[in-house]
């Protein structure tokens, strides 16, 4: 019971600090191979303590106290508010070590690919399991009661003693699962990131953090989803995983180049009739003004063949709006979603906007 209570406390602490945990830079740089520490309040044991005001009290008789009332002084323990020195005892806490897998499990509970459709030719497969066999040996939790009862009745009837009795270990039957391949709808996710000179350290860090957790979510929850990494400045190109998360570039910005490359990749390798297509672009919004109309046109084409298209704008400390974001307000399509990230804690909100069902 204590272990289960401890696990619940740890899960609660992770949920309460999830926005800060996933935006920790060392996690992204380590590639997810990291154990992190989460502050968890200590579980206090019941004990008697003296009244802090040292008043003369007695311990017998029937008082007016109710379940849940504090025994000592009627005041909760805790530190002082503000900068005033406190006289009350504070709450103890310790740092519990948790793995990235535990954080991922809690984080990905409510995330899923939206608008996922069954395609005409689902040529991808995933492993599944099902109880498809019955054996004489197995785990007690997997006893097949129906077949066990029928086996006992059949045995007793053949011995001239009908009825359900004389059950022996040899009469028990157990369900056993088999691993099999099941077809899965094909899906591809296009990760598009602005790497131009206007993307400072903060903007690139936010974009990489989002794509790091997005990739981890997809590969842990969907076995056969392809992720294509596209980076751009004035020109766009396809990148490897390592290049996408580590290599920096410079130069001007022409966002239409990455949308044009995305449409080319879809046409050549991922036909929409066979794949669910998802595209997500993160930028600081600093784009050539003359290129904005071209971006709207290409995003419109991309939206028509995709299950979802997302645009995330990282709002740096030097400006509060961009012409690109204002231009995208003209796009009125249910499969086009936008988010604005002003702080590293907004990364979790962005993931929930794109993968958490209908946008709020």
pLDDT tens track for 137-151: 887 778 888 888 888
Mean local confidence (pLDDT), 113-134? 67
Mean local confidence (pLDDT), 19-38? 64
Q: What is the C-alpha to C-alpha distance for residues 204 and 212, in angstroms, rounded to an integer?
A: 12
Give pLDDT tens digits for 93-111. Answer: 556 666 777 777 888 888 8
Q: Do the Cβ atoms of 144 and 171 come closer than 8 Å?
A: no
Mean local confidence (pLDDT), 212-229? 89
Contacts of 294 (CB under 8 A, 6+ apart): 256
Q: Which among 220, 217, 354 has a CA at the least distance from the CA of 279? A: 354
Quick one: pLDDT band at residue 318, thresholds 50, 70, 90? low
Q: What local confidence, expressed as pLDDT, does residue 49 receive?
A: 63
Q: Do the Cβ atoms of 190 and 262 come closer than 8 Å?
A: yes
Q: What local confidence, expressed as pLDDT, does residue 91 receive?
A: 52
Half-sphere exposure of 216 (CA within 13 A, CB side): 22
Higher-confidence residue: 63 or 230?
230
Q: What local confidence, expressed as pLDDT, does residue 249 receive?
A: 74
The two tokens of residue 317 are 């400390």
Least confident of 101-115, 174-188, 237-251, 286-300: 174-188
Domains, in order of start, for the chain: 1-45+92-110 (no CATH), 124-182 (no CATH), 186-355 (3.40.50.410)
Mean local confidence (pLDDT), 59-76? 57
Q: What is the C-alpha to C-alpha distance for residues 157 and 159, in angstroms, rounded to an integer?
A: 5
Quick one: pLDDT band at residue 57, thresholds 50, 70, 90? low
Q: Do the Cβ atoms of 248 and 204 come closer than 8 Å?
A: yes
The answer on pLDDT for 185 being more than 70 is: no
Q: What is the C-alpha to C-alpha distance for residues 122 and 46, in angstroms, rounded to an integer?
A: 59
The answer on pLDDT for 79 being more than 50 is: no
Quick one: pLDDT band at residue 42, thresholds 50, 70, 90? low
Give pLDDT tens digits for 237-267. Answer: 999 988 898 877 777 889 999 999 999 999 9
The answer on pLDDT for 277 being more than 60 is: yes
**Residue tagged 């998802």 (tokens):** 278
The answer on pLDDT for 217 being more than 50 is: yes
Q: What local confidence, expressed as pLDDT, does residue 175 receive?
A: 84
When mean pLDDT is compared over 21-30, 319-328, 351-360, the highest value belongs to 319-328
Q: What is the C-alpha to C-alpha distance for residues 276 and 124, in angstroms, rounded to an integer?
A: 12
């Amino acid at each position: 019971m204590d272990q289960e209570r401890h696990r619940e406390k740890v899960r609660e602490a992770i949920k309460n600090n999830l926005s800060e945990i996933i935006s920790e830079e060392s996690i992204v740089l380590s590639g997810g191979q990291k154990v992190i520490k989460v502050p968890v309040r200590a579980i206090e044991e019941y004990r008697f303590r003296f009244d802090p005001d040292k008043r003369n009290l007695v311990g017998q008789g029937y008082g007016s106290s109710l379940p849940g009332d504090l025994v000592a002084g009627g005041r909760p323990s805790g530190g002082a508010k503000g900068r005033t020195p406190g006289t009350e005892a504070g709450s103890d806490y310790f740092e519990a070590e948790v793995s990235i897998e535990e954080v991922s499990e809690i984080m990905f509970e409510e995330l899923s690919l939206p608008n996922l459709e069954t395609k005409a030719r689902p040529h991808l497969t995933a492993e599944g399991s099902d109880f498809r066999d019955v054996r004489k040996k197995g785990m007690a939790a997997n006893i097949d009661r129906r077949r066990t009862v029928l086996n006992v009745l059949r045995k007793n009837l053949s011995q001239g003693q009908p009825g359900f009795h004389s059950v022996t270990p040899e009469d028990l039957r157990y369900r056993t699962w088999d691993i099999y391949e099941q077809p899965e709808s094909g899906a591809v996710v296009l990760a598009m990131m602005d790497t131009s000179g206007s993307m400072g350290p903060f903007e690139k860090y936010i974009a990489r953090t989002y794509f790091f957790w997005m990739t981890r979510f997809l590969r842990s929850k969907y076995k056969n989803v392809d992720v294509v990494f596209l980076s751009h400045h004035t020109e766009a190109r396809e990148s490897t995983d390592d290049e996408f998360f580590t290599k920096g570039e410079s130069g001007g910005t022409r966002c239409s180049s990455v949308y044009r490359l995305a449409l080319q990749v879809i046409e050549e390798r991922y036909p929409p009739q066979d794949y669910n297509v998802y595209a997500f672009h993160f930028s600081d919004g600093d784009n050539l003004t003359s290129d904005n109309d071209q971006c709207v046109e290409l995003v419109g084409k991309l939206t028509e063949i995709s299950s979802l298209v997302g645009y995330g704008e990282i709002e740096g400390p030097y400006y509060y709006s961009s012409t690109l974001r204002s231009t995208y307000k003209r796009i009125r399509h249910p499969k086009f979603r936008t988010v604005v990230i002003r702080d590293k804690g907004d990364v979790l909100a962005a993931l929930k906007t794109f993968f958490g069902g209908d946008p709020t």
